[in-house]
């Protein structure tokens, strides 16, 4: 009898232990689904073994941003990594015209005052560890951003205010967000990578092992080398084409090109050396896809310095042949345009007029008329008795320093001296914030959240992000209207007017719009780059056969 009891006890303990271990292994917290989870885990184990012998592997060479982290809450770069590597996904995603499409959310409702948003969470979506993505887990993921992301550069409050009340209704499968300020379109903000949905309950290592709902799972990370990603066995949206992805960090664009040619990698993103790109385009063994991006390459014009002089500013813009620089000097890496917003976006680029088309003779005449002439015969014009020497700060990224040097050469032709100062991006940023420049190379995402409001803030007179000291009453008035306008058509009209103000005021030296590229070998099919730079490893990319 006693023995029987003991055996019973033992079995009980064992049973409990087993359940406990299973609980830890799966860790979903919901007891009902634990059975299916266990089988899911077993499935994935058997799958991995088969993929070891003869599984499909993709090798992908890319730049290392944000020190390789994939935690959306900590740093914007890391949030981008998380999405680019195919690990995290958002409630919404951007299509190639930067319109918002449903992703993890399949429908939503918004109140008339644009303050109450109800999102219906797509059913059947699982995190890569096999746990269900519930309304509660979505709410937890958003809430975590404000606790874990407070000190980081991700700044989640830029996309969703801290004061917002987030409630989940698991039965109805909805998340309701009630905000205090009205958002013109919150879905755009929720499509930004920082707002990716991660498994808060089970993620142990956010830096390199964030659990998301994407097609790939971060399995192994080696500092400065890269990731081994494996297919998400629980992926909700069809089959994952590769069993594993070797993601390798490559800093140098030429190195990426060489790795591709030597067969070390099958796929690379953004080769920024013109010559390499042209060579690969000409070679039929490689596929190069280039997409009109949403980035604008431009130089801030510091109004607090010598370029506060409008005649000089206009002459500078008129004397720089940005079209040739875009098409020849940087070999089509940029698409030419004169406004701060890319011409491929729906902000009426066609309706804008450019009074300062490239024309060096006119620029010279303008300077002569304004009394900015070279009186001492040294080839450099003077303003207030001093030789003009513009300080152009730049850094080597996306061919920006090439633009700076080209500008220097072209301005020398009309007698304006330029001193190019090529520094690292950190120093350049500090110099810019301190206003210690005349021209400052920049490459900005214009519609990161599908809307240019935040970007246009850079020229708003009362903004803290206005580093060029630009002030224009008309612009400020339009911007203030834009902040409260909820109607899409009216917003577009305001944005169009604001662009024209900047053009007429010669406020920005616009280089052009940066094109992203994705280059693949013949072993890979459908490797497209998207307009929104957030989606690199998608399920679209498949083995060629």
Partner 1 sequence: MDKKTFKKVTFIIWCALAAAIILTAIFAPVVTGGVDPTSGTLTDALKAPGQGHLFGTDKLGRDIFTRVIYGARTSLTAAFSVVILVFCVGTLLGILAGYFGGIVDTIIMRIADMMIAFPGLVLAIAVAGIMGASIKNAVIAISLVTWTKYARLARSLVLKIRNRDYVAAAIVTGSKTPYMLVRYMLPNVLPTMIITAATDIGGMMLELAGLSFLGFGAQPPTPEWGLMLNEGRSFMQAAPWLMIYPGLAIFIVVVVFNLLGDSLRDILDPRDE
The residues that touch partner 1, with contacts defined as CB under 8 A, are: 253-254, 257, 273-276, 278-279, 321, 324-325, 328-329, 402, 405-406, 408-410, 412-413, 419-422
CB of 401 to partner 1, least distance (A): 8
Report, in Å, the least distance between residue 405 CB and partner 1.
Answer: 5
Shortest Å, Cβ 506 to partner 1: 21
Least spacing, CB of residue 438 vs partner 1, in Å: 16
- 311: tokens are 């005649």
Residue number with CB closer to partner 1 (203 or 402): 402
Q: Which two tokens stand for residue 498?
A: 């604001």
| 449: exposed, middle or buried (Cβ count in 10 Å: 0-12, 13-18, 19+) | buried
Which residue in the block uniquely carries the two structure tokens 């007429």?
A: 504
Which CB sits closer to partner 1, 282 or 484?
A: 282
232: which 2 tokens?
């998400």
Q: Output the smallest distance, CB 71 to partner 1, in A.
A: 32
- 78 Cβ contact partners less than 8 Å away, ≥ 6 residues apart: 66, 69, 70, 71, 72, 154
Q: Which of 253, 287, 286, 255 is nearest to 270 (CA)?
A: 253
E strand segments, 190-249? 216-222, 226-231, 244-249
With respect to partner 1, which residue has the nearer C-beta, 91 or 400?
400
CB of 226 to partner 1, least distance (A): 22
* Least CB distance to partner 1 at residue 37 (A): 50
* Dist CA 510 CA 502 (whole Å): 11
Given the complex with partner 1, which of 400 and 482 has the nearer CB atom? 400
Count of Cβ atoms closer than 10 Å to residue 129 Cβ: 23
Looking at 120-243, list the stretches that DSSP marks H as alpha helix, in order from N- to C-terminal side: 135-148, 186-190, 206-209
Given a contact cutoff of 8 angstroms between Cβ atoms, the answer to whether 267 and 59 are in contact is yes
Smallest distance from partner 1 to CB 406, Å: 6
Instruction: Measure the CA–CA gap between 151 and 134, rounded to whole angstroms.
Output: 27
Phi/psi of residue 516, nearest 5 degrees: -90, 155
In the bound state with partner 1, the residue whose beta carbon lies nearer, of 243 and 276, is 276
Residue placing its CB nearer to partner 1 in the complex, 58 or 330: 330
In the bound state with partner 1, the residue whose beta carbon lies nearer, of 402 and 472, is: 402
The radius of gyration computed from the CA coordinates of the chain, to the nearest angstrom, equals: 27
Shortest Å, Cβ 513 to partner 1: 19
Which lies closer to partner 1 via its Cβ, residue 272 or residue 500?
Answer: 272
Between 233 and 322, CB nearer to partner 1: 322
Shortest Cβ distance from residue 280 to partner 1 (Å)? 10
Q: Give the contacts of 41 (CB within 8 A, at least 6 positions apart).
A: 25, 26, 130
Q: How far is the CB of 315 from partner 1 (least distance, A)?
A: 18
> Residue 329 Cβ, how far from partner 1 at the closest point, in Å?
6
In contact, 216 and 232? CB cutoff 8 Å: yes
Task: Look up residue 158 and give its two tokens.
Answer: 């830029």
Whichever of 321 and 451 has its CB closer to partner 1, that residue is 321
Q: Which is nearer to partner 1, 322 or 476 (CB)?
A: 322
Concatenating the DSSP letter of every residue in 321-339 gives -HHHIIIIITTTSEE--SS
- Residue 285: both structure tokens together: 């063994």
Shortest distance in whole angstroms from residue 273 CB to partner 1 = 4
Closer to partner 1 by Cβ: residue 368 or 396: 396
Q: Which runs of E-coded beta strand occur in 406-507?
A: 417-422, 439-445
Q: Which residue has the tokens 């409702």?
A: 109
Q: Which of 143, 186, 439 lies closest to 303 in space, CA to CA?
A: 439
Give the integer Cα–Cα distance in Å for 226 and 147. 28
Decide whether 193 or 406 has the Cβ nearer to partner 1. 406
Question: What SS3 state is found at 102?
Answer: strand
Are 138 and 91 within 8 A, CB to CB?
yes
Q: Which DSSP state fits 182? A: P
Length of the chain as a residue count: 545
Furthest-apart CA atoms within the chain: distance in Å = 115
């Amino acid at each position: 009898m006693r023995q029987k009891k003991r055996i019973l006890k033992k079995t009980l303990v064992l049973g409990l232990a087993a359940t406990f271990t299973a609980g830890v292994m799966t860790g979903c917290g919901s007891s009902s689904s634990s059975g299916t989870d266990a089988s899911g885990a077993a499935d994935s184990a058997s799958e991995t073994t088969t993929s070891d012998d003869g599984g499909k592997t993709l090798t992908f060479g890319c730049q290392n941003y944000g020190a390789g982290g994939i935690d959306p809450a900590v740093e914007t770069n890391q949030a981008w990594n998380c999405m680019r590597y195919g690990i995290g996904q958002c409630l919404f995603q951007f299509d190639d015209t930067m319109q918002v499409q449903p992703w993890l959310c399949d429908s939503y409702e918004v109140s008339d005052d644009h303050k109450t948003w109800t999102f219906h969470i797509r059913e059947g979506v699982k995190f890569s560890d096999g746990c269900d993505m519930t309304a509660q887990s979505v709410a937890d993921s958003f809430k975590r951003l404000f606790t874990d992301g407070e000190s980081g550069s991700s700044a989640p409050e830029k996309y969703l205010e801290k004061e917002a009340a987030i409630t989940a209704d698991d039965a109805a499968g909805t998340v309701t967000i009630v905000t205090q300020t009205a958002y013109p379109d919150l879905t755009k903000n929720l499509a930004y990578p920082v707002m990716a949905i991660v498994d808060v309950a089970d993620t142990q290592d956010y830096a390199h092992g964030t659990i998301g709902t994407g097609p790939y799972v971060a399995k192994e990370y080696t500092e400065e080398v890269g990731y081994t990603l494996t297919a998400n066995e629980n992926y909700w949206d069809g089959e994952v084409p590769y069993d594993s992805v070797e993601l390798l960090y490559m800093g140098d664009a030429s190195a990426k090109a060489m790795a591709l040619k030597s067969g070390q990698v099958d796929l690379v993103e953004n080769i920024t050396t013109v010559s390499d790109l042209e060579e690969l385009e000409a070679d039929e063994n490689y596929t190069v896809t280039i997409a009109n991006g949403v980035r604008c390459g431009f130089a801030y014009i510091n109004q607090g310095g010598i370029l506060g002089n409008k005649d000089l500013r206009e002459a500078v813009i008129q004397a720089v042949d940005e079209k040739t620089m875009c098409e020849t000097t940087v070999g089509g890496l940029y698409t030419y345009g004169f406004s701060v917003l890319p011409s491929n976006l729906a902000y009426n680029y066609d309706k804008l007029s450019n009074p300062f088309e490239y024309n060096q003779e006119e620029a010279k005449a303008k300077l002569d008329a304004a009394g900015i002439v070279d009186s001492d015969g040294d080839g450099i014009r003077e303003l207030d008795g001093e030789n003009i020497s513009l300080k152009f700060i730049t850094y080597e990224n996306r061919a920006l320093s090439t633009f700076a040097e080209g500008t220097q050469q072209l301005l020398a032709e009309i007698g304006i001296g330029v001193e190019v100062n090529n520094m690292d991006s950190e120093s350049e940023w500090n110099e810019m914030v301190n206003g210690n420049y005349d021209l400052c190379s920049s490459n900005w995402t214009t519609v990161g959240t599908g809307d240019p409001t935040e970007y246009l803030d850079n020229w708003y007179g009362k903004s803290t992000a206005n580093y060029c000291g630009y002030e224009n009453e008309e612009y400020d008035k339009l911007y203030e209207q834009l902040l409260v306008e909820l109607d899409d058509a009216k917003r577009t009209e305001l944005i169009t007017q604001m662009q024209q103000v900047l053009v007429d005021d010669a406020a920005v030296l616009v280089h052009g719009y940066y094109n992203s590229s994705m280059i693949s070998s013949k072993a890979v099919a459908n490797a497209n780059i998207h307009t929104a730079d957030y989606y690199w490893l998608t399920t679209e990319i498949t083995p060629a056969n």
